[in-house]
């Protein structure tokens, strides 16, 4: 039996099925990444795992405890870092962490040292006396993490822990996730930011419309897509939706998108020539400044499996 077993989980909001027959397992000691676009059902699934939400069908078992029946046993081993920052804004950083850790039963010297350690861990030792409302967005994110982990949970569930933070905070958060894992915690987390999931996660579940599209290691997921490659074309000039539409209709083109003066065109591996693509760009007065080929990434895999683009960071 794996550490986390989710079998045919279904969760509805009224008539709307947010999580649809979802099955996956997480091994003890793993960093497990959940990847999916807005509305895919990531938070809903994590809320079920963290006992915050009930569910309609399926079985959920964590560390041998079955939900919803053994909710309290699951709560005891769990730390949650929610997507919506949940802090008491009038309290200081230290007071916030102290409050959360004491809810999990820590007290006295053990509480104090756990709070100190959690604050230092997320790089907020010097801000301990600052009120949450006076902190920057990135600092609040890090404090949100400290509140979820101070009590030393063996399973940590993090929902978009790096949304809206700068590169430095992101690095800090990524480093802390790794350290928590090295110290023995099992980690389940979600992110929109593909490179982050690719870098951190031992295994990844791709979900879309509440359903599992694929699950496995990065290598296993990439092996789903063997029929295409991506052309990266640096262009000078303005592309628009009409251009993307035209390119998408060319034979052998599976998908096209444009961002930051770079055009990405997914094409069949069997495509005999890229002349029609370049020709289309030239007809529109776009100068081709560079051209490179890329093997499939998780982004292409995601697109191939779901037909949707993952929302990019900042989008």
Ligand X SMILES: Nc1ncnc2c1ncn2[C@@H]1O[C@H](COP(=O)(O)OP(=O)(O)OP(=O)(O)O)[C@@H](O)[C@H]1O
Q: Which residues bind Mg ion (CB under 5 A)?
A: 42-43, 83
| Binder among 22, 24, 32, 44 for ligand X (CB under 6 A) | 44
Reading phi first (left if > 0) and then psi (alpha if -120 to 50, else beta), residue 137 is in: alpha
Determine contact, residues 264/256, Cβ cutoff 8 Å.
yes
Q: Which does 40 bind (CB under 5 to 8 A by kind): Mg ion, ligand X, none?
A: ligand X
- Report the nearest approach of ligand X to the CB of residue 194 (Å): 13
Among the listed ranges 12-20, 21-29, 63-71, 296-304, the one in contact with ligand X (CB under 6 A) is 12-20
Among the listed ranges 40-48, 104-112, 167-175, 198-206, the one in contact with ligand X (CB under 6 A) is 40-48
Task: Give the C-alpha separation, 6 to 58, whole Å.
Answer: 8
Determine contact, residues 55/11, Cβ cutoff 8 Å.
yes
161 binds ligand X (CB under 6 A): no
56 binds ligand X (CB under 6 A): no
Distance between alpha carbon 61 and the CA centroid of its chain, in Å?
22
Which one, 9 or 265, has the nearer CB to ligand X? 9
Which one, 53 or 83, has the nearer CB to Mg ion? 83
- Report the nearest approach of ligand X to the CB of residue 193 (Å): 11
- Return the structure tokens found at 124: 């907020």
Q: Which does 41 bind (CB under 5 to 8 A by kind): ligand X, Mg ion, none?
A: ligand X
Q: Which does 22 bind (CB under 5 to 8 A by kind): ligand X, Mg ion, none?
A: none
157 binds ligand X (CB under 6 A): no
86 binds ligand X (CB under 6 A): no
13 binds ligand X (CB under 6 A): yes
Which one, 44 or 96, has the nearer CB to ligand X? 44
Which one, 39 or 175, has the nearer CB to ligand X? 39
Which one, 44 or 186, has the nearer CB to ligand X? 44
Among the listed ranges 38-46, 165-173, 231-239, 300-308, the one in contact with ligand X (CB under 6 A) is 38-46
- Report the nearest approach of ligand X to the CB of residue 128 (Å): 30
| Binder among 4, 9, 32, 36 for ligand X (CB under 6 A) | 36
18 binds ligand X (CB under 6 A): yes
Which one, 19 or 243, has the nearer CB to ligand X? 19
Q: Which does 23 bind (CB under 5 to 8 A by kind): ligand X, Mg ion, none?
A: none
41 binds ligand X (CB under 6 A): yes
Task: Give the C-alpha separation, 50 to 78, whole Å.
Answer: 7
Angle at the Cα of 119 from the Cα atoms of 107 and 203, rounded to 5 degrees: 100
206 binds ligand X (CB under 6 A): no
Residue recorded with tokens 């560079």: 290
Residues found near ligand X in the complex (CB under 6 A): 13, 16, 18, 36, 38-44, 83
């Amino acid at each position: 039996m794996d550490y986390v077993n989710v079998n045919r989980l279904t969760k509805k909001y009224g008539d709307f099925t947010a999580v649809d027959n979802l099955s996956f397992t997480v091994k003890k000691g793993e960093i497990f990444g959940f990847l999916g676009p807005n509305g895919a059902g990531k938070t809903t699934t994590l809320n079920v795992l963290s006992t915050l939400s009930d569910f309609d069908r399926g079985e959920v078992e964590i560390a041998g405890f079955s939900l919803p029946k053994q909710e309290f046993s699951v709560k005891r081993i769990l730390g949650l870092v929610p997507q919506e920052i949940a802090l008491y804004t009038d309290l200081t950083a230290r007071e916030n962490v102290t409050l959360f850790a004491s809810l999990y039963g820590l007290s006295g010297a053990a509480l104090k040292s756990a709070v100190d350690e959690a604050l230092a861990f997320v790089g907020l030792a010097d801000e301990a006396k600052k009120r949450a409302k006076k902190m920057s967005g990135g600092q609040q994110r890090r404090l949100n993490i400290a509140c979820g982990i101070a009590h030393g949970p063996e399973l940590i569930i993090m929902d978009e822990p790096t949304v809206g933070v700068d590169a430095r905070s992101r690095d800090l958060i990524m480093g802390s996730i790794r350290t928590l894992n090295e110290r023995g915690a099992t980690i389940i987390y979600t992110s929109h930011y593909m490179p982050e999931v690719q870098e951190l996660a031992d295994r990844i579940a791709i979900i879309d419309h509440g359903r599992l599209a694929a699950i496995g290691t990065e290598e296993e997921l990439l092996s789903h897509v063997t029929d295409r490659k991506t052309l990266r074309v640096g262009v000078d000039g303005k592309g628009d939706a009409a251009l993307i539409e035209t390119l998408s209709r060319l034979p052998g083109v599976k998908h096209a998108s444009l961002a930051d003066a770079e055009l990405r065109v997914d094409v069949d591996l069997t495509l005999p020539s890229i002349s029609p693509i370049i020709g289309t760009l030239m007809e529109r007065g776009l100068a081709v400044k560079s051209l490179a080929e890329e093997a499939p990434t998780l982004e292409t895999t995601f697109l191939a499996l779901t037909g949707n683009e993952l929302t990019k960071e900042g989008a």
